[in-house]
């Protein structure tokens, strides 16, 4: 392991003020959830038969897992393209992914009307393989397990460093066993998100006439796959920046710069695909002085701006600017996903010239719905803090004259 920095447990007081706030927010949302299970979804949300998914699916599942895709993106670089210098980012990214996906999965259980029947989901002969949602459900459940298995090396590592000889022995033995199995688990951890992130886009293929023509395309699966990567890389940069500010986590700016150049590639690929699709299918006529065009232009700007920033040396060198660009990259994917799932969805559909057809439904998220979403995000942060304090996840900067390996020194000096 000489080429890599060693992550270490952060330690410190568990119930600090931040933790107390996060748990309090989650507590409030747990009350709302409990109320929902007694009185029905309609009593805490503004969801209707017209806007049946509200914000829980679009935000808690589709946006959260996009943020969690950092594990997928870093895994792709580190293991598949063998860029060993990204090793230090793997554990935080995987933990973020495991938490984001777990929250996405739990949010589904709250959103499902007949959640008790979900126990029948593992019955393979009942699977309707035509359903994109079934693909997402099965794939996400498997991926959540895979992600927590990927977190295990950090836990075993922590046990191995423990003072108790018993824990230490267990950690060492299982750590070694895990290391052997890891390549096969990592391959699964790359395959599964490729499948379900594209299926998340594929979900809305069926919505056809209900989705605005500028958003409805056969490329939905591809666009969702590309946007999860741009969100994921952005999320890793943002996460490590926050960890540096709070816990003095090691942040290799040159590494971020090269990862962000990859991200610029994905952001631009998205823009090229989206624009190319619209031009080739003669959808330019839907652009005009209306809300749809405004949103479309906002989305394009949100994808282009971070892409341009990521390739500028001034941004690459500057922590704050790169952090800002990464935030924009997350926002771009999040807005695209929310627009597809909510903003540009109309139950009665759109006319041939792109005007929404009036229906008896309007939607704006209720306070209860929003609290559940915020509470889920809060408990996610709390779990991240909890695990990072107890187990070696984050690589901490040991000081200016560090013992960092030669690989990183080379990376830091050259761009």
Q: What is the DSSP code (8-state) at residue 7?
A: P
What does each C-alpha distance from 221 to 13, 50, 224, 227 come to in angstroms?
A: 44, 24, 5, 10
CB atoms within 10 A of CB 134: 15
Q: How far, in Å, CA of 210 to CA of 348, rounded?
A: 6
- Using CB under 8 A as the binding rule, the residues of this chain from 148 to 187 that contact another protein are 182-184, 186-187
Q: Nearer to another protein by C-beta: 154 or 262?
A: 262
| Residues in CB range of 44: below 8 A, 6 or more apart | 32, 35, 36, 366, 368, 369, 372
Q: Is 48 in the site for another protein (CB under 8 A)?
A: yes
Report the residue number, 91 or 389, with the smaller CB distance to another protein: 91
3-state DSSP assignment of residue 225: helix
Residue selected from 26, 64, 72, 79 as contacting another protein according to rule CB under 8 A: 79
Q: Which of residues 330-359 bind another protein (CB under 8 A)?
A: 345, 347-349, 352, 359
Member of 23, 28, 50, 161 binding another protein (CB under 8 A): 50
DSSP H or E segment with residue 397: none
Window 82-141: residues binding another protein (CB under 8 A): 82-85, 108, 111-115, 117-118, 120-121, 123, 125-128, 130-135, 137
- Closer to another protein by CB, 55 or 378: give it: 55
Binding mask 186-205 for another protein (x = CB under 8 A): xxx-xx--xx--xx--xxxx
Pick the piece of the chain touching another protein (CB under 8 A) from 42-50, 94-102, 150-158, 303-311: 42-50
Tell the smallest beta-carbon distance from residue 128 to another protein (Å): 5
Distance of alpha carbon 136 from alpha carbon 243, whole angstroms: 31
Segment 261 to 300, residues that bind another protein, using CB under 8 A: 261-262, 265, 269, 273
| Residue 294 and residue 344 in contact, taking contact as beta carbons nearer than 8 Å | no
Identity of the residue, 11 or 209, whose beta carbon is nearer to another protein in the bound complex: 209
Nearest CB to another protein, comparing residues 17 and 282:
282
CB of 275 to another protein, least distance (A): 13
Task: For the CB of residue 228, give the shortest distance to another protein in the complex, in Å.
Answer: 13
357 Cβ contact partners less than 8 Å away, ≥ 6 residues apart: 346, 348, 349, 350, 351
Q: Which is nearer to another protein, 64 or 350 (CB)?
A: 350
3-state helix, strand, coil split of the chain in percent (to 5) is 75, 0, 25
Q: Which residues pair with residue 125 across a beta bridge?
A: none
Residues 354-383 that bind another protein (CB under 8 A): 359-360
Smallest separation, CB 127 to another protein (Å): 7
Shortest CB 47 distance to another protein, Å: 7
Of 9 and 149, which CB lies nearer to another protein in the complex structure? 149
Please give the distance of CA 249 from its chain centroid, rounded to a whole number.
Answer: 21
Instruction: Examine residue 11 and tell whether it contacts another protein (CB under 8 A).
Output: no
When the beta carbons of 49 and 362 are compared against another protein, the nearer one is 49
Residue 139 CB, shortest distance to another protein, in Å, is 10
Q: From CA 370, how far away is CA 378, in angstroms rounded?
A: 12
Binding string to another protein for residues 219 to 258, with x set by CB under 8 A, is what? xxxx--xx------------------------------xx
Instruction: Please provide the DSSP assignment of 148-212 as one string.
Output: HHHHHHHHHHHHHTSSSHHHHHHHHHHHHHHHHHHHHHHHHHHHHHHHHHHHHHHGGGTTGGGB-
Task: From 169-177, 259-267, 321-329, 331-339, give the range in contact with another protein by CB under 8 A.
Answer: 259-267
Least Cβ distance, residue 24 to another protein (angstroms): 27
- Counting residues that bind another protein (by CB under 8 A) gives 95
- Look up residue 332 and give its two tokens: 């771009």
Contact 44, 111 (CB under 8 A): no
Q: Is 133 exposed, middle or buried (0-12, 13-18, 19+ CB in 10 A)?
A: middle
321 binds another protein (CB under 8 A): no
Task: For residue 124, give the DSSP letter.
Answer: G
Q: What's the closest the beta carbon of residue 205 comes to another protein, in angstroms?
A: 4
Nearer to another protein, 22 or 267 (CB): 267
**Cβ atoms of residues 94 and 235 within 8 Å:** no
């Amino acid at each position: 392991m000489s080429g890599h920095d060693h992550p270490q447990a952060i330690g410190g007081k568990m119930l600090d003020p931040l933790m107390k706030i996060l748990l309090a927010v989650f507590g409030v949302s747990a009350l709302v959830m409990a109320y929902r299970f007694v009185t029905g979804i309609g009593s805490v949300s503004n969801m209707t038969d017209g806007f049946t998914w509200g914000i829980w699916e679009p935000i808690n599942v589709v946006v959260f897992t996009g943020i969690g895709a950092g594990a997928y993106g870093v895994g792709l670089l580190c293991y598949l393209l063998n860029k060993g210098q990204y090793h230090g980012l793997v554990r935080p990214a995987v933990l973020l992914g495991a938490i984001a996906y777990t929250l996405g999965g739990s949010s589904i259980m709250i959103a499902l009307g007949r959640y008790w029947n979900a126990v029948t989901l593992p019955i393979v002969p009942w699977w309707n393989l035509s359903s994109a949602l079934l693909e997402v459900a099965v794939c996400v459940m498997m991926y959540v397990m895979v992600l927590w298995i990927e977190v295990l090396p950090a836990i075993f590592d922590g046990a191995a460093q423990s003072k108790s000889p018993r824990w230490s022995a267990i950690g060492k033995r299982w750590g070694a066993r895990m290391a052997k199995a890891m390549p096969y688990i990592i391959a699964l951890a790359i395959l599964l998100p490729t499948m379900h992130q594209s299926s998340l886009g594929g979900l809305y293929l069926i919505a056809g006439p209900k989705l605005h023509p500028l958003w409805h395309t056969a490329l939905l699966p591809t666009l969702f796959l590309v946007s999860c990567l741009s969100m994921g890389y952005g999320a890793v940069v943002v996460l490590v920046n926050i960890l540096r500010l709070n816990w003095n986590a090691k942040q290799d700016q040159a590494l971020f710069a090269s990862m962000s150049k990859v991200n610029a590639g994905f952001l631009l690929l998205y823009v090229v695909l989206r624009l190319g699709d619209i031009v080739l299918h003669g959808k330019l006529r839907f652009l005009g002085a209306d809300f749809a065009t405004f949103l479309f232009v906002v989305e394009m700007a949100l994808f282009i701006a971070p892409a341009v920033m990521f390739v500028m040396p001034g941004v690459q060198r500057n922590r704050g600017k790169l952090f800002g660009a990464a935030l924009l990259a997350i926002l771009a994917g999040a807005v695209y996903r929310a627009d597809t799932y909510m903003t540009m969805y109309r139950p009665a559909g759109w006319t041939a010239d792109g005007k929404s057809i009036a229906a008896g439904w309007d939607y704006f998220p209720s306070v209860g719905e929003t609290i559940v979403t915020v509470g889920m995000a809060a408990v996610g942060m709390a779990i991240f803090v909890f695990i990072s304090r107890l187990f070696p996840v984050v690589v901490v900067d040991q000081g200016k004259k560090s013992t960092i390996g030669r690989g990183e020194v080379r990376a830091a000096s050259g761009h």
